[in-house]
A and B are shown apart, each in its own frame.
Chain A
Amino acid sequence: MWNTFILSPMVNVLIYVYDLILHNFGIAIIIFTILIKLITYPLTAQQVRGQQKMQGLQTSPKYKEIQKKYKDDKEKFAQEQMKLYKEMGINPLGSCLPLVIQFPIMIGLYQSISLAMASAPLQLLTLSRNLYAFIPASVLIPLNSKFLWMNLGLPEIASPNAFYIGGIAIPIMTILVVLTTFLQSKLMTPASNPGDQGAQMSKQMTLMMPIMMGFIAYSLASGLALYFLVSNLLAIAQYGVMGQINWSNLLPQKTTSKKKLSSKN
């Protein structure tokens, strides 16, 4: 089921793009990532709209009023909150579902890049069985995995042309992935009260995600690092086009929270 509906179509499109443009796997990954972002744009837009509505609700006087009123009765608060959602025509899962739908796409993309680079016999055998008849597989395999200084089938620092400074391989892609993931998390997090629980979680995610993505980009094939980088840049651009980038998140916020604390005291 997975192979038929997700993996096979993805890997075939990826290799079709490779065949169509320059026979370079790096360029194929970039174009393929752009295609996926374009296809999933309506879902992203829906997700953003859902987030906006939710944010609007949470800052509304009515919401704050019931929050204050039922601060000691969580059950009642939840009931009133649901009433409010209905009144304002908000589906609480509305911003979540598009994200869930994108999950299989992300996993499929990861697997199709990994499969197309087929670095072991069983992977190549699997690849041969997932290719459609119109793909001239015998001519194309093995795919040209050299891109810039990387061999996309290898971790960046294991590529023969990796950058060295003082005998140490510098993982440039990993650094770029960490930076863009951090930027993405920062810029795309909606403005919120630093004191609330959601904001604390967002702050932790902003730190954890770049570390996790950096680790994956460092240890797995650099083709995946290239996908992460392009995907991050496109996500930032997409949010920019939708006017959702929150530049204020890049500014230090410590002073604000200190002020708030002192004013409370």
Chain B
Amino acid sequence: MNSKKILLLISLVLLSILISGCSSSAGISTSWHGLAVSPDIVYLSAGPQVYALDLKTGSEIWRYPDKPNAKGFYANPVLTPDGQLLLPSYDKILYSIDPKTRALNWSSVTLGNHLVGSPYVTNNMIYQPSSDGYIYALNMTGNIVWKKETKGPLWAQPTSSPDCGCIYVASMDHTVYSYDALSGDLFWQSPELGGSLVGTPAVSTDGVLYVGTFGSEMVALDATNGSIKWRFGTEDWVWSGPVLANKVLYFGDLSGYFYAVNAENGTSAWPNSIQPQNSIVDKPVVLEDKIYLTTEGDTLFILSTDGNIVTSRVIGGLIYGSPLITGDTILVAPTNFDSLLVALNLDANQKWTFTPAKK
């Protein structure tokens, strides 16, 4: 082979590597789609825009903003009891819009860094986690009441339990914090849990907090002081918090294993964990005796609570977010797919899909 051919070959290899590099999504800052629902309308955050859709037909009612937000994506939207739709944005601002008209009610000041996690709303207060490591407590008009710093970015939606007067904040600094909901005073912080926490913890009525970690564990904490009650090892990172139903925790890991764990003692509730398909990123939905589970593959699985696959339905694209069930409709929001939202009935038969019209 002469030198010209070698040169040509090298150039072609380099060119193909370059082209694949330019099309790589490694540098793209984005998240999966998020859902919130009112009785008749579903709100879908899909990258740089949020859509309001008719729940019965999937037809678009409005989109916000008109042009995609050039500064990034909107995280999972949240409807408040007083009728606001809260939109946390990667552009570091929390927006409140009227869910009927999409008119802007207010926007917060810059909250330090990118907003990746959803706000938690309780007792007329909004608790917004930020990637700057602060939890911001805002009143219902978006003014900051207090803010407290953790040592890592906050991506998990905070949570609370009735009568504790507190909010629980899971941080990427591997720690759970409990703050006084009114003043922001620290009640307790857990020990280092061995990995980042990005999923919302589940809280039981008998005062136990359950949180999944990047240390490949599900950890149970005493919700009154943050001490560890038990730990359950998994095959891979646990991205989401668990769902607690009938004293059993249901959750998956990034290797695609799905677990059922006794909430009281941290032992497996099934003889073996199951591995339906690809990575399980978000939490499942448990409704009566069925578990509705999406995986990073393209499929929605319906499992029985004893760990058998009842049925499955290929949706398409990549599914990272939880399904949302309202009435007799299952909503699944795939990414990398023409349709941004797919609605199915409880038997997993398709009702409608939503593909945004080009504007």
**Chain A contact residues, CB within 8 Å of chain B:** 1-3, 5-7, 93, 97, 100-101, 103-104, 107-108, 110-112, 114-115, 119-126, 128, 130, 137-139, 141-142, 151, 153-154, 158, 160
Contacts and interface: CB of A to CB of B under 8 A. Distances in A.
A100 B26 contact: no
Given A108-B21, A120-B114, A138-B216, A100 B28 contact: no
5 pairs of A and B residues whose beta carbons are closest in the complex: A2-B20, A138-B195, A120-B29, A2-B21, A114-B27
Interface stretch (B9-17, B99-107, B161-169, B309-317): B9-17
B73 A138 contact: no
A119 B72 CA distance: 11
Contact of B14 (A103, A123, A124, A128): A103
A142 B114 CA distance: 15
B90 interface: yes
A161 to B, nearest CB: 12
B333 to A, nearest CB: 14
Interface of B: 7, 10-11, 14, 16-18, 20-22, 24-32, 72-73, 90, 92, 112-114, 116, 131-132, 152-153, 155, 172-173, 194-196, 198, 213-216, 237, 239, 254, 279, 281, 320
A119 B214 contact: no
A249 B119 CA distance: 57
B254 A128 contact: yes
Contact of A3 (B24, B32, B112, B153): B24
Given A115-B27, A119-B29, A122-B28, A101 B14 contact: yes
A249 B102 CA distance: 58
A106 to B, nearest CB: 10
Contacts of B237: 128, 138
A130 B26 CA distance: 10
Contacts of A124: 198
A119 B215 contact: no
Determine which residue in A3, A101, A141 has the highest number of CB atoms from chain B within 10 A of its CB, and name it. A141
Contact of B21 (A97, A104, A123): A104
Nearest to B92: A158
